[in-house]
Structure 1
């Protein structure tokens, strides 16, 4: 629980309270406008509490994620961790301390280029000749190309 009282988490808690209070206040303001005859405000009166609910959902999800990470760290550094570490096969590679436990590097598969057809090569060579001519003649128009 101590992890949830760092300066970053305090800022998150305060931002959540401010946003939820503000969104609910804006929703109430739209209800009062709708009651005054502005029919468009009924849509906004529903929309603002939905925004407040979304802020609560994101805060709750981040809170659970932080608590699960803390529980995993506690389990990895607890007294049973040294006994469990002795039971692990010595040949198994140790995880990198720099990388988080749940994050892995993406797998990259190199795909060889498909062999080009002769017709494509001829078209490509002609296009490259055209580009070389345009580069050599900067003031020329494309219609002046002799090829």
Structure 2
């Protein structure tokens, strides 16, 4: 629960309250305009509370997500030594990333036409000049 009282979360709570109160106030303002004869305001009188509901929905979802993440970060209690299947001195296995080599397919003979060859030159120029923009291409 302490995680929800950091300065960033306090700002989120305040922003949520300000937005919801503001949107509901704008909805009430549209209701008063609609009762004065502005029929278009009836649509807006429905729209502003929907916006307020969306703000509450997003805020609540983020609160739940943060609380779940806090629970997931807690370390699980270690099982008793008698329940372990491996000896207590065993080191955990280290997983290393899998390296996959990229295999480029050979071009099919006779498949290149003028446009395809020009496009391939353009792509190879972009690959050779990583900081360049497409508009810098000299061809």
- Structure-2 separation of matches of 1:41 and 1:82: 63
How many residues matched? 111
2:104 match? 112
Q: Considering fraction of residues, name the structure with more helix.
A: 1
4+ runs deviating over 2 angstroms: 81-84, 86-94, 108-117, 123-128
If the length of structure 1 is used for normalisation, what is the TM-score?
A: 0.61
Give the superposed CA RMSD: 3.4
Task: Extract unaligned runs of 5+ from structure 2.
Answer: 120-139
- Structure-1 separation of matches of 2:46 and 2:67: 32
Task: Extract unaligned runs of 5+ from structure 1.
Answer: 95-107, 129-147
If the length of structure 2 is used for normalisation, what is the TM-score?
A: 0.65
Map of 1:33-72 to 2, 5 A cutoff?
A: 33-72=33-72
Map of 1:1-147 to 2, 5 A cutoff?
A: 1-74=1-74, 76=75, 80-81=77-78, 87=84, 90-93=91-94, 110=102, 112-113=104-105, 115-121=107-113, 123-124=114-115
